[in-house]
Amino acid sequence: MVPDPTKPTIGDTWSAMENLVKKGLVKNIGVANFNAALLLQLLQTATIKPSVNQIELHPRLQQSRLLSFCASHDIAVTGFSPLGSTGYVQIGMDRGEGVGLLDNPSITAIAEKHGKTPAQVLLGWGAQRGTAVIPKCSSLGRLRENLNVMDFRLDEEDFRVIGELDKNWRYNDPGVFAVGMGGDYPIWD
């Protein structure tokens, strides 16, 4: 497929965002859902590197190599769907597992061990990995619970157990949603 010269590229868009920083209209700019290849491509021409890369991140999709890459380039990471996107379990898109991360026996056992909720364990795991976590929240009580994750530390055994949950599973995969529109698009392949 030949690129359409009338449509902006990632580089064009990034350059426009850099101009916003240079004009003092914004302080920081970042990207979302960039893999290492896209970040490298961007870094070749960028005069301002991304301050953050927002990606899907939870124990079923730990993305350790991408986290290391971002850290080596001083790019912060924000993890969305840190609870494993519970809505996908409700609509049967849980890959046959039958339970989400909030009900996963390994996560609930760690939660009991620390006197925390499974959500607090998942958010604490993300925070202890050095990422910002942004869970969806629909109630004041849950918001308070979500904020109370810095008063405990997961230990090496907890990290080992959670590490075993990694299946490279994306819950937020637009390529899957495109199936109804004529095909399964390998966006992340």
DSSP state for residue 31 in the 8-state scheme: E
Q: Where are the domains of the chain?
A: 12-165
- Cβ-in-10-Å burial (0-12, 13-18, 19+) of 119 comes to buried
- Cβ-in-10-Å burial (0-12, 13-18, 19+) of 83 comes to buried
Confidence of residue 172 (pLDDT cuts 50, 70, 90): confident
pLDDT at 45 over 60: yes
Q: Which of 104, 130, 140 is nearest to 119 (CA)?
A: 104
Give the mean pLDDT of the chain.
88
Over residues 117-156, the pLDDT tens digits come to 999 999 999 999 999 999 888 888 888 888 888 899 999 9
Backbone angles phi, psi at 135, to 5 degrees: -75, 155
Q: Does domain 12-165 have CATH number 3.20.20.100?
A: yes
**DSSP annotation string for 106-161:** HHHHHHHHHT--HHHHHHHHHHHTT-EEE----SHHHHHHHH--SS----HHHHHH
Q: What pLDDT score does 7 carry?
A: 87
Over residues 79-93, the pLDDT tens digits come to 999 998 766 666 655
Average pLDDT over residues 172-181: 59
